[in-house]
Amino acid sequence: MSAASPRFKTRLFTAIVVATNVAGNSFLSRGMQSVGELVSLSPVPYIRALFNPWVAVGTSLLIVWLLSMMALLSWADLSYVLPVTSVAYVLVALVGRFVLHEAVSAAHWAGILLIMTGVSLVGSTNPNTAGKHRPEARS
Amino acid sequence: MRWLLVWIIVLASTAGNVLQSLGMRHHGEIRDFRPGALGRAAAALVRSRYIVASVVAMAISFFAFMALVSIAEISFAVPVTASTYILETILAKYLLKEQVEAKRWAGVVLVAAGVGLLTV
């Protein structure tokens, strides 16, 4: 891994961040539908929701998402990582269309096109513009 | 109720992302992915004030998001958070000192508009 090119490392971690985000949110959403309405200031109903298997798997995936996001942000700009990982929205829409057979409106297709154009624009910029002047970076 | 939750999610996730970026930049690039080295990195990160604050902010955002998806469709819940892109890019430029060139700005605006369109 240490021999991998910076570009490959950034692409790989972007893919992990996107995949765990989409899968985690899908499991969480599926679980919350069976848990029912949850608007409470008490932590008890939230903790109880975590015992729902869908919510538990979703939460575990979102923990992997958080850790891979942290690793990615240790070398890549926030203003690079956030737009590039928005590919997740496109993936959610495509899963809805081709797996769940939901209708995708013209506006949604336009949104998908805008996101992909934006992602390729940001993806062609240098991922790391703020790290160079931070000499405390450890090897 | 749903818009109050949206505001909590936007503010908490923006603070969470900026603090996370600050904390990880401060720690330095993670290059060694062997378990021992990752353990040492984790031990250093749990003592970072930025990282602790970012996890608190993200936990607030996460539970507000759980509450939101329990009362609203996910097709409402996910795209309303698109407004964070603009706010976070401004903070990345001025607070995190990232070089946001014209091409990157154009990309961010397209992404935010595209995510917004997914709500229609």
Q: What is the pLDDT of residues A41-93, one digit of tens each?
A: 777 887 888 889 999 999 999 999 989 999 999 999 999 999 999 999 899 88
For A10, B91, B92, B105, the CA distances from B102, given in Å and listed in that order, are 21, 16, 14, 5
A137 within a domain of the structure (yes/no): no
Helix, strand or coil, per DSSP, at residue A86: coil
Say what percent of chain B tops pLDDT 70: 96
Mean pLDDT of A112-116: 96
A75 within a domain of the structure (yes/no): yes
Write out the H or E segment, with its range, that includes residue A36: none
User: What's the pLDDT score for residue A136?
Assistant: 45
Give the structural domain span for A71.
6-123
Give the gap in angstroms from C-alpha A32 to the nearest C-alpha of chain B: 6
Structure tokens at B81: 């958070």
Q: Of B90, B98, B85, B22, which Cα lies nearest the Cα of B53?
A: B22
Structural domain count, chain A: 1
Structure tokens at B70: 């329990």
A100 within a domain of the structure (yes/no): yes
Cross-chain Cβ contact B27/A74 below 8 Å: yes
- Cβ atoms of A125 and A58 within 8 Å: the answer is no
B101: left (phi over 0), alpha (psi -120 to 50) or beta: beta
pLDDT band of residue A3 (cuts 50, 70, 90) is low
Q: Which residues of B touch A10 (CB under 8 A)?
A: none
Distance between CA atoms of residues A121 and B93, nearest Å:
17
Mean pLDDT of B43-71: 91
A51 within a domain of the structure (yes/no): yes
Cross-chain Cβ contact A79/B100 below 8 Å: yes
Evaluate if residue A135 carries a pLDDT over 50. Answer: no
Provide Rg for chain A, Cα atoms. Answer: 18
Tens of pLDDT, residues A20-45: 999 998 888 788 778 777 667 777 88
A132 within a domain of the structure (yes/no): no
- Cβ atoms of A35 and A87 within 8 Å: the answer is no
Evaluate if residue A138 carries a pLDDT over 60. Answer: no
Length of chain A: 139
Give the amino acid at B38: L
Tens of pLDDT, residues B63-107: 898 788 888 876 777 667 777 898 999 999 999 999 999 999 999
pLDDT band of residue B16 (cuts 50, 70, 90) is very high
A58 within a domain of the structure (yes/no): yes
Q: Of A89, A119, A112, which Cα lies nearest the Cα of A25?
A: A89
A133 within a domain of the structure (yes/no): no
Distance between CA atoms of residues A130 and A75, nearest Å:
9
Evaluate if residue A133 carries a pLDDT over 80. Answer: no
A54 within a domain of the structure (yes/no): yes
Q: Which residue is associated with the tokens 């892109």?
A: B85
Q: Which residues of A touch B92 (CB under 8 A)?
A: 77-79
Choose between B27 and A28: higher pLDDT: B27
pLDDT band of residue A4 (cuts 50, 70, 90) is low
Q: Which residues of B touch A137 (CB under 8 A)?
A: 28-29
User: What's the pLDDT score for residue A137?
Assistant: 44
Cross-chain Cβ contact B104/A114 below 8 Å: no
Evaluate if residue B48 carries a pLDDT over 70. Answer: yes
Neighbouring C-alpha atoms within 13 Å toward the C-beta of B14: 19
Distance between CA atoms of residues A3 and B13, nearest Å:
33
Q: Which residue is associated with the tokens 């250093």?
A: B44
Burial A52-63 (b: 16+ CB within 10 A, else e): bebbebbbebbe
Evaluate if residue A114 carries a pLDDT over 60. Answer: yes
Cα angle, residue B111 at apex, residues A104 and B97 outer, rounded to 5°: 160
User: What's the pLDDT score for residue A97?
Assistant: 86
- At a CB cut-off of 8 Å and minimum separation 6, what does B36 contact? none
